[in-house]
Amino acid sequence: MYELDEPKYLYLLGIIPVLLLLFLLNLYWQKKKQREFGDPELVKKLTPNRSVFKAALKLVVLLLALSGIIIALVNPKIGTKVETVKREGVDIVFAVDVSKSMLAEDMAPNRLEKAKQIVSQVINQLGTDRIGIVAYAGSAYPVLPITGDYSVAKMFLQNMNTDMVSSQGTAISDALELATSYFDDPQTSKLVILISDGEDHGEGSLEAAQALKEKGIKLITVGVGTEKGGPIPIKVNGRTDSFKRDSDGNVVVTKLYPQDLKSIAAATKGGYVYGKSTREVSDYVKNALDNMEKTEFEAKQMAVYDSQYQWFLGAAFLLLFIDVFLLERKTAWISKLNLFNEKE
């Protein structure tokens, strides 16, 4: 079994035939100039120690050294043994508020983008935990099922926006119910991280949180926004054109309601953290995960590969060292042997 660590460098091997072609063209040019200069046999006698074979040998040595360096860059690996790898962790579902109030810019760049930053930072510090994503406003919407592929999770996360859910509001109860449906293994440790401004949280939130507690699911709520609040911008071509107004024509000011988020989290014996500092939120979540029991997800048979680049790199340096002592003139003691009966 083998694999190539950086196969893109194999394209550099295309340099080899180019250099070989240049050498042949140069050899042809030299022969042509010699014929123009005078009789080839006479010119040959004027340079008795010049060896075409040694020049070709030097080229071969250099090309082999270059090939060795390129293959070292590719870093071929050989599977030497098979190991059983166990994965342990916690199932985590991120429930992200995508209601229009999350467009308020009282937390830079806005509440929704801040929520994405928080989720991304938390994902960055995870190890073998599995994650899922739920979006919600007036209703809940499944974005990504439980997975261990963090790169895919981040891709889906960045595509989240306030147009994903048509009905407006902040139906936290729907989000918690949908998040609960993500957990398919009753033995797995479970955590829901809900990120919201807590405004217009709807009815049934505490009941939904109690249902999480009964199923052994811990809840952490993260508040984004400020209690002073801010208007909801209406943008045209990326620029703020106006602000959302109520039926009386007044600018709507949306605020953070931390007490509601704290109450929901407390119902599951979880916790609340203010989302102004992304680092503080990620540290808080990390501490919570460290205190949770890890569950073994799966055990896989995986081949362990050992890098072999050092052999090719060593051979390349050895060839370069040899090339230093290879001269393009004939070797005296070989010439004396007269292997091809050149002397008359």
> Would you say residue 88 has pLDDT above 80?
no
The rounded radius of gyration (Å) of the Cα atoms in the chain is: 35
Check which CATH number belongs to the domain holding 284 and give it: 3.40.50.410
Percent of the chain residues topping a pLDDT of 70: 83
Residue 22 domain boundaries: 2-75+308-337
195 with 140, same domain: the answer is: yes
Residue 92 belongs to some domain of the structure? yes
Does residue 315 share a domain with residue 293? Answer: no
What total number of domains does the chain contain? Answer: 2
Report the C-alpha gap between 276 and 263 in whole angstroms.
19
Whether 295 contacts 187, CB under 8 Å:
yes
Mean pLDDT across 62-87: 83
User: Are 195 and 112 in the same domain?
Assistant: yes
149 and 49 in a common domain = no
Burial 99-131 (b: 16+ CB within 10 A, else e): bbbbbbbbbeebbbbbbbbbbbebbeebeebbb
Q: Is there a single domain that holds both residue 285 and residue 158? A: yes
pLDDT surpasses 50 at 339:
no
| 43 shares its domain with 157 | no
80 assigned to some structural domain: no
Lowest mean pLDDT among 86-90, 101-105, 279-283: 86-90
* CA separation, residue 34 to residues 21, 58, 262, 327 (Å): 20, 22, 92, 21
Q: How does pLDDT run across 233-280, given as a tens digit for each residue?
A: 988 877 888 898 988 889 989 999 999 899 999 999 999 999 999 999
Specify whether 48 is located in the same domain as 181.
no
Phi, psi of 55 (to 5 degrees): -65, -40
Residue at token pair 């501490």: 287
Cβ 269 vs Cβ 213: under 8 Å: yes
Report d(CA 19, CA 25) in Å as an integer.
Answer: 10
Do 202 and 318 share a structural domain? no
Question: Considering the domain boundaries, does residue 81 fall inside one?
Answer: no
pLDDT at 151: 93
- 321: in domain: yes
Q: Are residues 332 and 273 in the same domain?
A: no
Phi, psi for residue 27 in degrees, rounded to 5: -65, -40
Q: Is residue 342 part of a domain?
A: no
Residues 172, 249, single domain; the answer is yes
